[in-house]
Amino acid sequence: MKIIKRSGIEDGFDLEKIIAAVRKANASVVETDRMSEEQIQTIAGNVERTCQALNRSLSVEEIQDLVQNQIMDQKAFHVASNYITYRYKRDLVRKSNSTDEQILSLLECNNEEVKQENSNKNPTVNSVQRDYMAGEVSKDITRRFLLPPEVVEAHEKGIIHFHDADYFAQHMHNCCLVNLEDMLQNGTVISETMIEKPHSFSTACNIATQSIAQIASSQYGGQSITLSHLVPFVEISRQKFRRDVRIELEEEAINVNDTKINDIAERRLRAEIRQGVQMIQYQVMTLMTTNGQAPFVTVFMYLDEVEAGPQRDDLALIIQEMLEQRIQGVKNEKGVYITPAFPKLIYVLEEDNIHEDSKYWYLTRLAANCTAKRMVPDYISEKIMKQLKDGNCYPCMGCRSFLTVYEDPDTKKPKFYGRFNQGVVTINLVDAACSSGGDMDTFWKLLDERLELCKTALMCRHNRLKGTPSDVAPILWQNGALARLKKGETIDKLLYGGYSTISLGYAGLCECTRYMTGKSHTDPSATPFALEIMNHLNDVCHKWAAETNIDFSLYGTPLESTTYKFSKCLQERFGMIPGVTDRNYITNSYHVHVTEDIDAFDKLSFEAQFQKLSPGGAISYVEVPNMQDNIPAVLAVMQHIYDHIMYAELNTKSDYCQVCGYNGEINIVTDNDGKLVWECPECGNRDQDKMNVARRTCGYIGTQFWNQGRTQEIKERVLHL
């Protein structure tokens, strides 16, 4: 059994330390108030059994809380008082140097909490350590100076979650849709170097990847680009190749017709498209931003985003190449092709590609093969999205954050690219339910109180961005990625009127409903309550937007490490409630619980009604086995997505053991200390440094492993197909 020390280091559970601490507190009171040795042993035994039952590594603070409660149970109130006083004094001392301890543990690569905080960051790499060190300082400044005490307290108790506090000290926003069209057509500036409009497709791809890296270093969330912005450069390259071929043949005195010239030029064009797409795929994977990770970038593939005819056919060429290269994968250090985490791909299902007799059905079949082997692309239904987004279809920012529809005052048309999200604060719905004791009136009252706390926290995010000069990130605000503001001009006008969004996240609708009704939210008698919560959260967002002229939007939070944090806080506050707090994770947003038996089609249809009520972003998934030999089933799911839900994905498995060469699903098992670890079923390898594991945990694919809460959630997922 392990514990997590205050510095984040994992250590062995030592019962004698607990006994010694209780004896010390016991000796500090007069003899008549002291406990017997038998009572002390009872306290220690109860604490040990509780820790074992939780089946995870507890923090020192959690263990001290258990000890404190056990002393109170023994009616030794004076001993408990002295124990509490001692803890308080020690906390005051630690507050002066806690950041130092965290940073030192980071440098020594033994901070277990940070190691598993982000499944796409390797904490042993210098650049990641540098980012984490800066993050610790930022979080410290944020806690002590930048946030109101009530927000800090609610965040630490897991009542709400103030996302990305490690970047809050800087004036940075969350995620965006990159206006790559503006940057390519009108030129941009990268690292004080003028980049003019490219004269070929491959150059456009190169500029795109360089821009992606710069943008990722200027914000903390995901970004999305669309392949349609690259399409005009296909024709530029085509005409260039035709000219070059004609000149070459004329110089050799070879007399050929235009058809032959065009055929040769087209072969060269295909080679350039292959080279350009490879550049995007490999550079995104190998570029490292200032926060020590590959850019969190999503590539949007939407045929109807360009006019039908030659342009759409050129877009189809790019999409085909993107899918074929992704199916191949990238080589790991052993030279074996594996599944990369980035870029994330989104493929839009539409009338031109969803039926077997559709013109671009071959692309949909290719997408199905890619999903079966590499977990991407994910799928947007043009039909359903247009129903929900006023006739528009456009990508999410990063993995799931969606903009609201905004009309450009100049063009009088909807504008999406060049917009962004200001940030997220998430409410823990499970805590609101448990705090109510199951009383409905109390629940709604508590929910409103906590939503006001969320609004306070969200306004802190907004006000932190307010007054930000465009000079802090020229590529974003001055050079076209998001805007063309003047030097010294603030970004304030982009924060109001719906140009950007700000997100109220929510987590644990499933467990909240179970606690308040005694049933899963999939139960027809409990579903109305879950929908009532969703409608209420939307009503609150609309009310805030009307009051502030800021576009608040409800967002299905992609909990990663926070799912573990919330569960630990719930267990500490409310104990182990079956079906509610008895696991080391809570459920993302509105999702069906991972252990619930439900088939893929029913799950997507059920969750569609909740996705509709998450206009600020959400994604649904189905968990499937190896589907490479059952592509018709993948296509059936895709067609169901097209007819029933706006945005969904299929979670397949794609692992590799570097010790024995096993290529399949690597399992999660429990070691002798009760810790969940990854194990190769072929050779028993448990060394995470000698295996490649890819799992989708929050919209993006993660490849650097996860904390114990998320690992348990992955282990307990049932198959939906």
Which residue out of 379, 555, 585, 642 is catalytically annotated?
555
Which residue out of 174, 553, 584, 692 is catalytically annotated?
174
- Active-site residue, 362 included: no
- Active-site residue, 379 included: no
Which residue out of 51, 172, 370, 399 is catalytically annotated?
399
Pairing of strands 620-623, 667-670: unpaired
The CA distance from 582 to 421, in Å, is 34
Helix, strand, coil percent values for the chain (each to nearest 5): 50, 15, 35
**CA geometry: angle at 141 spanning 136 and 144, to 5°?**
125
The CA distance from 59 to 617, in Å, is 33
The CA distance from 37 to 43, in Å, is 10
Which residue out of 138, 421, 692, 707 is catalytically annotated?
421
Name the nearest CA neighbour of 493 among 599, 419, 578, 580: 419
- Active-site residue, 392 included: no
The CA distance from 631 to 568, in Å, is 40
The CA distance from 285 to 488, in Å, is 34
Residues belonging to the chain: 721
List all residues 6 or more positions away from 333 whose beta carbon is below 8 Å from its beta carbon: 658
Which residue out of 175, 393, 510, 698 is catalytically annotated?
175
Which residue out of 119, 211, 401, 500 is catalytically annotated?
401
Q: Encoding tokens for residue 549?
A: 């002229």
Q: Residue 292 — left, alpha, or beta (φ > 0 → left; ψ -120 to 50 → alpha)?
A: left
Which residue out of 117, 560, 623, 713 is catalytically annotated?
560
- Active-site residue, 401 included: yes
Q: Are 167 and 220 in contact (CB under 8 A)?
A: yes
The CA distance from 163 to 488, in Å, is 28
Q: Encoding tokens for residue 631?
A: 């592509």
**CA geometry: angle at 586 spanning 585 and 588, to 5°?**
120
SS3 222: coil
Which residue out of 699, 700, 702, 713 is catalytically annotated?
699
- Active-site residue, 470 included: no
- Active-site residue, 449 included: no
CB atoms within 10 A of CB 190: 16
- Active-site residue, 397 included: yes
Which residue out of 375, 397, 460, 569 is catalytically annotated?
397
- Active-site residue, 110 included: no
SS3 337: strand
The CA distance from 347 to 339, in Å, is 18
Q: Are 468 and 490 in contact (CB under 8 A)?
A: yes
- Active-site residue, 489 included: no
- What is the 3 state secondary structure string of 388-431? HCCCCCCCCECCCECCCCCECCCCCCECCCCCEEEEEEEEEHHH
Residues assigned a catalytic role: 174-175, 397, 399, 401, 421, 555, 560, 699
